[in-house]
Amino acid sequence: MSLKKSTNNPTTLSQLAELTGAQLLGDPALIIHDIAALNNATASDITVVLGTHYRKEASKSEAAAFITDKQLPEVSAQLLTSDPRKAMAEIILHFHPNQEIVHPSIHPQSAIHPHAKLHPHSQIDAFTVINENTHIGSNTHIHSHVSIGSDCKIGDNCIIYPQVTIYDKVSIGNNVIIHANTVIGSDGFGFYQLNGEWQKISQIKSVIIDDNVEIGSNTSIDRGCLIDTRIGKGSKIDNLVQISHNTDIGPNAAIAAQVGFTGGTKVGDGVMIGGQVGIDTPEIGEKCIIAAKSGVTKNIKDQQMVSGFPAQPHQDELSYQAYLRGQYRQYKRKKDSQK
């Protein structure tokens, strides 16, 4: 989401502590003008220390104050909190309020079907196409060059960024953000062979996206064949993700870039998937973690962390990799001794 420039609204450290619920160490009257990264913070900024490997950098930072989960002995002004990321997010929004303010309007260079239903408090930008029987909710902003098919429903408080394509009969909930160049509802990759030639299987269902979902740029979510593809409430999907037909993503999933699903996978609540993971399995349980570059070929039970290709429990994969490295070192020593 776009952000405004800093409000340049001087705020005391005590006010920021109250805003975030953090414990204050240092001068409560210290004035803070903005938030910045450790390496480029100035004497009027607050910064954040996310993890122990940044603690050494903190001593070199020029920041006036620090958000951290453990006290830094070398600095005086600090906000101590068990969740520095949450505090950082709250302070960012304090100094940089969201810029996405809807100005109710329909641009004259948009193409709106006469049977489309647009809430009076929505904004439709230039060169956008909205087809028959599609509903657009209140406080929703459809940016330029967006194409929305027929019989779609887009809820309230949504942001659809430029060049997004939404096929027919897609349903999108409230508070959904879809970034540029993403495609929702394209045909699933369904074919069968007849006399050595591929024949298309019609994909007759669609895509349902629940409330509070955010989808990155250049992501494709295919429509279902006989059941809808679904993205659960609160899930966050990165750029360059391929979600195939009939996939069911549970609530509050987090899926990093370049993940690819084959059709029909069911993903449980709160699953986290690292980048460049390939998934070809029917079911992933709740609260699972799949490490980056894994290849998932079997079902995963609840609350497991897996890695490797083919993916296996993470500790087993670490032991397997350690064994391989040990075997290689023995082989190399033996070979070197024969020279």
pTM over the 0.75 mark: yes
Confidence (pLDDT) at 33: 96
Which of 33, 141, 179, 245 is labelled catalytic? 245
Active-site residue, 245 included? yes
- pLDDT tens digits, 278-326: 999 999 999 999 999 999 999 999 999 999 999 999 999 999 999 999 9
Consecutive 10-residue averages of pLDDT for the chain (339 residues): 57 97 96 94 94 81 94 90 96 87 95 98 98 98 98 98 98 98 96 97 97 98 97 98 98 98 96 97 97 97 96 94 91 84
Confidence (pLDDT) at 51: 80
- pLDDT tens digits, 79-110: 999 999 999 999 999 999 876 789 999 999 99
Confidence (pLDDT) at 3: 43
Confidence (pLDDT) at 154: 98
Confidence (pLDDT) at 260: 98
Confidence (pLDDT) at 8: 63
d(CA 7, CA 263): 46
Confidence (pLDDT) at 52: 78
**Domains in the chain and their CATH numbers?**
11-95 (3.40.1390.10), 105-314 (2.160.10.10)
